Amino acid sequence: MAEKTGIEWTDATWNPWQGCNPVSRGCENCYMAREKLRYGQDPWTVVRSADKTFRLPLTLAAGQRVFVCSWSDFWHERADEWRGEAWEIMRQRPDLTFIVPTKRPERMRPERFPRDWRQGWPHVWGLVSVESQGHTDRIDRLLGVPFRVRGVSAEPLLGALDLSQWLIDNGPHWWRNGVDWVIAGGESGPDARLMHPEWAWHLQRQCEAGCVAFFFKQWGEWSAVGWRYEPWLEGDVWLWPDGRTQRCSGTVPGGNPEEPLDEMVVEDGLALMRRRGRRESGRSLYGYEWSEFPG
């Protein structure tokens, strides 16, 4: 579980253990939980994976990026007894890049790192998940830990994020004392929540101003409609920048009910969203696929 992956910013996933527990709103529609329940498994019990899966990185070709614990959290308390073995496997593969996101940065204590960690292993990157402004304290905790590369995963992006104070333009990433990388994306799955295009675009602009790598992973289940050229469809939803939504009835909220929707330019940040599915929605943000990596 699983050498191949469809996740755009990584080449492989590695799950030395599986299962997790919700900690914030970003966990509400967890794909791991959905898939585990689909197969009659308990997603809330953390279990060690089979040895073949646990030792997967030892079989990978050099140069790959590896997403660690896509079906769990590397810093979950239940995994304390196995983490040392996982560190040892990462030690043996300095020719891979291990990307380790977490929603539990408070558990990244010195005693849970290898003794020779010092200022961090160059091939292990630390990320925190920040789905809304209320969880930016995770970034402060991350910046207190010595990683050579540090990042923010804003996925699913559930609101406007101002990360400017952590995106510090002070030279190459090995000199920085801020965030080196931002991943953003909308939510997929049957109960996916909507992401306003301005939330993602604003993050890209912040990253550009701070010389920070930006990766737009996906729109997710919902994507914005080009309202001037695409007539509305039943099921479309109006989305305001503050997260308020309203089902579309063919006219702009507060507008002239006689003026057809497909002839208007929507103003004041109002976006028309359509459920197209992850594949059709794609990952183009205002005509460009942002696929930047730190380095």
| pLDDT-derived band at 263, boundaries 50, 70, 90 | very low
Cβ-contact 272, 266 below 8 angstroms = yes
C-alpha span between 35 and 189 (Å, rounded): 11
C-alpha span between 269 and 196 (Å, rounded): 9
Nearest residue to 129 via CA among 98, 96, 161: 161
Alpha helices in the chain (DSSP H): 31-38, 51-54, 80-92, 137-143, 197-209, 278-281
pLDDT digits (tens, 9 = 90+) for 68-100: 999 999 999 999 999 999 999 999 999 999 999
C-alpha span between 294 and 132 (Å, rounded): 23
Is the pLDDT reported for residue 267 higher than 60? no
pLDDT digits (tens, 9 = 90+) for 179-218: 999 999 999 999 999 999 999 999 999 999 999 999 999 9
| pLDDT-derived band at 1, boundaries 50, 70, 90 | very low
Q: For 1, how many CA atoms within 13 A lie in the half-sphere containing its CB?
A: 18
Nearest residue to 273 via CA among 186, 148, 182: 186
C-alpha span between 216 and 227 (Å, rounded): 22
Angle value at C-alpha 206, between 205 and 208, nearest 5 degrees = 65
Q: What is the pLDDT of residue 5?
A: 77
C-alpha span between 124 and 97 (Å, rounded): 6
SS3 97: strand
